[in-house]
């Protein structure tokens, strides 16, 4: 008999989890995962990187073609593991690179489960209780940040950018009712600080508001929005007949962990409504994708300090909570579990204080004849996405259940403790200076100076005095060299991977300030690793002229 397609089909069927209980095949599945993990493990060395860094040949990649024949689970997984070569191990104690956390095992299993049976949380008909998991994750987060969980609602979406997109879109519908149908015909503006995330540019562009209508408000030395300038810009816009689609309050800037004064912003919004007798309430969206996590400390007993944090840590946590505890004043906010929630990408949630806000985005059911005829829970009627994975909600819920309030306090508290320790060391040296001293997160921006620089005065001089322009730029280059040295050393197994930013903010005379950047998000970072960073910086200073 000639071979038929059925012979191949038999082989293909073995590459799927079995639809009917088959423990032997389950063992094969688990074993395949084990072998994969073994191969990933084999890439580990002492370095904070998986295997060697292999430069990607993107030219070659463009020639990729579909293989003609069938392969095997084993062969394909080995090939896939190869793509992890050169990845930074985000949980490694010698990694302080960026706002990328190591994901927990429960959150990884959450992702696996949601992928295994492929719930689509657009509709409970296609996701059953996984849709419920999303609602639970929304409620837990709502309560955490101070929203009334009965009144609030939310949806997981495609990243922090997606959360701000929802916030601004809702605000646009409030300012210009029916914009969804009629388009944006009014003059509309969106306000955000100049330390806010660049996604605001994308969002106003994609929403048809236009990047020209995004008003960038200067920040104070503490990297928070300048309230007086925000008030002036908002009043000027409204007075000239424009509508405010949204004020974006950044609650944890990406580089410096600046926190806007939401209380002040909310008071300003309320007074604008009165003053100009506005027909709508300008929407306040908190871009709290990084800062939200600090709300676990909102009712920490700072006096008794039951977790025994050091006084400096306690002060740093209190310094962040001073702003974060007012998060509930925002009409909507963004939460990235894949940043400060120890979940893998993508796990982002947009929360709204008033569930009616999401209903403003609802489509006419006649536009979706093949979906949502029945069922109790149909977020797909208003979400931007059609298919939505259960991975984000299950990862987030897994971490909430695993950590609990205490675990989140411990892991964040430790990270803040290590950050404060780093600052203590940096401040203990005459040649280094911390730039974001008044921002109390997990990120430290700092600069180091060559001999003969008065580091007590230089920060202020470089920032405010145009006579120091050349000095500033020379020191930018100097710090870039320090970064390159420290980076090369870390890649050789000597030291810690940190990062840098070309422009953590501009000087008053509009030049970029380069900064060295340590972002601590690994629970494995300990005192020795922090000391190594400082030692390496000082060593770099000796090595470069």
Binding mask 230-259 for ligand PLP (x = CB under 6 A): --------------------x--xx-----
475 binds ligand PLP (CB under 6 A): no
Rounded to the nearest whole angstrom, what is the least distance from the CB of residue 330 to ligand PLP in the complex?
Answer: 14
DSSP string, 265-313: HHHHHHHHHHHTT-SS--EEEEE-TTGGGGGGGTT--TTT-TT---HHH
Of 96, 120, 161, 522, which lies in the binding site for ligand PLP, with binding defined by CB under 6 A?
A: 161
325 binds ligand PLP (CB under 6 A): no
> Of the ranges 154-162, 263-271, 319-327, 435-443, which one interacts with ligand PLP (CB under 6 A)?
154-162
Rounded to the nearest whole angstrom, what is the least distance from the CB of residue 245 to ligand PLP in the complex?
Answer: 18
Rounded to the nearest whole angstrom, what is the least distance from the CB of residue 498 to ligand PLP in the complex?
Answer: 18
197 binds ligand PLP (CB under 6 A): yes
Of 290, 293, 328, 418, which lies in the binding site for ligand PLP, with binding defined by CB under 6 A?
A: 290
Q: Judging by DSSP bridges, how do beta strands 512-519 and 443-448 pair with one another?
A: antiparallel
**Cα torsion 350, 355, 356, 358: sign:** positive
Q: What is the dihedral of CA 525, 528, 534, 537, to 10 degrees?
A: -90
> In whole angstroms, what is the distance from residue 103 CA to residue 407 CA?
14
> In whole angstroms, what is the distance from residue 95 CA to residue 48 CA?
6
Are 386 and 380 in contact, with CB atoms under 8 Å apart?
A: yes
Nearer to ligand PLP, 165 or 316 (CB): 165
204 binds ligand PLP (CB under 6 A): no
> Of the ranges 52-60, 156-164, 474-482, 526-534, which one interacts with ligand PLP (CB under 6 A)?
156-164
340 binds ligand PLP (CB under 6 A): no
Whose tokens are 């719930």? That residue is 119
Binding mask 75-104 for ligand PLP (x = CB under 6 A): ------------------------------
- Rg of the chain, C-alpha, whole Å: 26
Nearer to ligand PLP, 81 or 225 (CB): 225
160 binds ligand PLP (CB under 6 A): yes
Rounded to the nearest whole angstrom, what is the least distance from the CB of residue 248 to ligand PLP in the complex?
Answer: 9
159 binds ligand PLP (CB under 6 A): yes
Of 97, 219, 340, 348, which lies in the binding site for ligand PLP, with binding defined by CB under 6 A?
A: 348
Nearer to ligand PLP, 99 or 537 (CB): 99
Nearer to ligand PLP, 125 or 222 (CB): 222
> In whole angstroms, what is the distance from residue 32 CA to residue 15 CA?
10
Angle formed by the axes of helices 311-324 and 391-427, to 10°? Answer: 130
199 binds ligand PLP (CB under 6 A): yes
DSSP string, 478-530: HHHHHHHHHHHHHHTTSS-B-EEEEEEEE-TTS-EEEEEEEE---TT--HHHH
For the record, the structure tokens of 48 come out as: 């904070």
336 binds ligand PLP (CB under 6 A): yes
Closest CA to 501 of 516, 491, 487: 516
533 contact partners, CB below 8 Å, separation of at least 6: 96, 422, 425, 486, 495, 496, 498, 518
Are 267 and 231 in contact, with CB atoms under 8 Å apart?
A: no
Of 131, 289, 352, 434, which lies in the binding site for ligand PLP, with binding defined by CB under 6 A?
A: 289
390 binds ligand PLP (CB under 6 A): no
Nearer to ligand PLP, 286 or 540 (CB): 286
Nearer to ligand PLP, 199 or 486 (CB): 199
Nearer to ligand PLP, 348 or 479 (CB): 348
**Cα 225–227–231 angle (5° rounding)?**
125
Binding site for ligand PLP (CB under 6 A): 159-161, 197, 199, 250, 253-254, 287, 289-290, 336, 348
């Amino acid at each position: 008999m000639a071979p038929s397609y059925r012979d191949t089909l038999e082989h293909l069927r073995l590459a799927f989890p079995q639809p009917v209980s088959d423990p032997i095949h389950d063992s094969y599945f688990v074993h395949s995962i084990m072998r994969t993990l073994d191969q990933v493990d084999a890439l580990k060395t002492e370095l904070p990187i998986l295997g060697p860094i292999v430069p990607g040949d993107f030219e070659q990649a463009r020639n990729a073609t579909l293989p003609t024949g069938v392969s095997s689970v084993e062969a394909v997984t080995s090939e896939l593991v190869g793509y992890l070569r050169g990845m930074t191990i985000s949980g490694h104690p010698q990694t302080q690179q960026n706002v990328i956390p190591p994901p927990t095992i429960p959150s990884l299993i959450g992702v696996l489960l949601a992928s295994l049976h492929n719930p689509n949380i657009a509709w409970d008909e296609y996701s059953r209780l996984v849709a419920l998991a999303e609602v639970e994750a929304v409620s837990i987060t709502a309560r955490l940040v101070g929203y009334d969980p009965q009144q609030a609602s939310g949806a997981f979406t495609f990243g922090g950018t997606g959360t701000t997109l929802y916030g601004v879109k809702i605000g646009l519908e409030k300012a210009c009712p029916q914009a969804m149908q009629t388009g944006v015909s009014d003059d509309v503006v969106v306000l955000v600080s100049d330390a806010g995330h660049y996604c605001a540019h994308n969002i106003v562009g994609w929403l048809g508001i236009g990047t020209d209508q995004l008003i960038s408000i200067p920040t104070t030395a503490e990297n928070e929005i300048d309230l007086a300038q925000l008030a002036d810009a908002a009043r000027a816009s409204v007075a000239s007949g424009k509508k405010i689609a949204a004020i974006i309050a950044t609650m944890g800037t990406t580089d410096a962990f600046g926190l806007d004064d939401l209380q002040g912003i909310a008071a300003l919004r309320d007074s604008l409504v009165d003053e100009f007798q506005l027909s709508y309430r300008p929407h306040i969206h908190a871009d709290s994708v990084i800062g939200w996590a600090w709300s676990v400390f909102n009712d920490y007993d700072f006096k008794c300090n039951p977790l025994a944090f050091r006084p400096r840590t306690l002060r740093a946590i209190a310094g962040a909570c001073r702003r974060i505890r007012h998060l509930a004043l925002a009409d909507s906010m963004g939460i990235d579990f894949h940043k400060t929630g120890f979940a893998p990408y993508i796990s982002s949630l947009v929360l709204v204080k008033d569930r009616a806000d999401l209903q403003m985005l609802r489509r006419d059911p006649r536009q979706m004849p093949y979906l949502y005829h029945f069922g109790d829970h149909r977020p797909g009627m208003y979400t931007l996405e059609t298919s939505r994975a259960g991975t984000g909600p299950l990862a987030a819920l897994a971490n909430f259940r695993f950590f609990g309030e205490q675990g989140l306090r411990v892991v964040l508290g430790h990270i803040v403790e290590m950050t404060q320790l780093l600052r203590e060391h940096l401040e203990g040296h005459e040649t280094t200076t911390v730039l974001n001293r008044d921002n109390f997160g997990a990120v430290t921006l700092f600069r180091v100076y060559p001999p003969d620089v008065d580091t007590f005065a230089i920060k202020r001089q470089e920032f405010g005095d145009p006579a120091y322009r050349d000095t500033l730029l020379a020191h930018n280059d100097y710090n870039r060299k320090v970064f390159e040295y420290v980076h090369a050393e870390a890649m050789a197994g000597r030291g810690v991977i940190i990062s840098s930013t070309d422009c953590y903010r501009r000087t008053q005379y509009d030049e970029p300030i380069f900064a060295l950047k340590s972002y601590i998000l690994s629970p494995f970072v300990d005192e020795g690793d922090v000391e190594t960073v400082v030692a390496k910086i000082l060593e770099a200073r000796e090595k470069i002229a």
